[in-house]
């Protein structure tokens, strides 16, 4: 004999109640969904360890810029630590499984901005070479922006700019996939510019204004030169500024020259890599444009 509709409804409700959820889903499934949603809410990308290291790099870079005009030793130390932390955030990202797109972009933006700021100072220290330094800034920014944009556009969301297909460029593939090569090239590239920065305070060959023409300590008009007083806040002879000024004028240029000589070939190779990266990214974007135009049936009009 068939059960009445009311009896069947009551039986279904009892079965759902016995399973533990009003929808008849097992308790385990509901608990797993709740725990998964709790995990998603508890993760704060901005407080991941690699990103915290990235914020530290920015603070150190800003501090180095503050000391850059008058305190070459302090500036070089802070700037170098900021650059070396670039390797640590990658290690932390892999160890804690906290690799993120935000972290990758933060890392790249920090690298580009700190190098650009140092090159801006070198442009002011050596005006006759300003065009060269401006060209290096433009090449660095353009190549990395084009490469990042091409990767996100052509390879899809979630694709890292460091994952380079060997068929597309063996040189870039080696640069981005081999951590030792990447660290060595970036470190020596920065070392070259740091060496130039120190030479602007210590080498009369590159900075003739280091040799005063008269007895006035403010006779030089060259920006960035130790003889150029950028501020009158510390005009007293025994002030911290005057002490650092005296130290800067006595700085030995031997080691900066050695650093510049050793790192210059790698710096040149890095600029070649930037050109290759810019060209490859441009071609990759052009390939995407051709594919899109074909899919859209363009051009619709015969010329």
Active site residues: 111
C-alpha 151/C-alpha 148 separation (Å) is 5
Q: What's the alpha-carbon Rg for the chain, to the nearest Å?
A: 29
Cα dihedral 188→194→200→203 (10° resolution): -50
- DSSP three-state, residue 205: coil
C-alpha 207/C-alpha 222 separation (Å) is 9
Other CB atoms within a 10 A radius of the CB of residue 251 amount to 18
- DSSP three-state, residue 144: helix
DSSP state of 225: -
Task: Supply angle C-alpha 54, 172, 265, rounded to 5.
Answer: 85
């Amino acid at each position: 004999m068939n059960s009445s509709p009311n009896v069947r409804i009551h039986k279904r409700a009892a079965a759902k109640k016995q399973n533990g959820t009003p929808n008849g889903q097992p308790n385990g499934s509901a608990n797993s969904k709740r725990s998964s949603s709790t995990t998603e809410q508890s993760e704060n990308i901005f407080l991941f360890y690699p990103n915290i290291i990235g914020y530290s790099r920015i603070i150190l870079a800003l501090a180095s810029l503050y000391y850059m005009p008058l305190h070459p030793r302090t500036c070089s130390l802070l700037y170098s630590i900021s650059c070396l932390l670039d390797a640590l955030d990658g290690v932390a990202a892999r160890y804690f499984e906290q690799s993120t797109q935000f972290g990758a972009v933060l890392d790249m933006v920090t690298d580009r901005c700190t190098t650009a700021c140092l090159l801006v100072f070198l442009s002011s220290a050596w005006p006759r070479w300003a065009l060269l330094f401006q060209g290096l800034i433009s090449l660095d920014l353009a190549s990395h922006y084009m490469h990042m944009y091409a990767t996100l556009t052509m390879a899809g969301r979630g694709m890292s700019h460091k994952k380079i297909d060997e068929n597309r460029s063996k040189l870039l593939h080696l640069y981005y996939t081999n951590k030792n090569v990447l660290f060595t090239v970036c470190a020596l590239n920065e070392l070259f510019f740091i060496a130039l920065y120190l030479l602007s305070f210590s080498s009369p060959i590159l900075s003739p204004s280091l040799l005063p023409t008269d007895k006035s300590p403010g006779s030089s008009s060259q920006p960035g030169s130790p003889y150029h007083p950028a501020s009158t806040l510390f005009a007293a002879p025994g002030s911290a500024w005057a002490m650092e000024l005296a130290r800067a004028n006595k700085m030995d240029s031997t080691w900066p020259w050695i650093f510049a000589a050793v790192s210059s070939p790698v710096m040149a190779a890095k600029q070649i890599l930037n050109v290759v990266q810019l060209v490859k990214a441009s071609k990759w974007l052009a390939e995407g444009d051709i594919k899109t135009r074909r899919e859209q049936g363009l051009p619709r009009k015969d010329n």
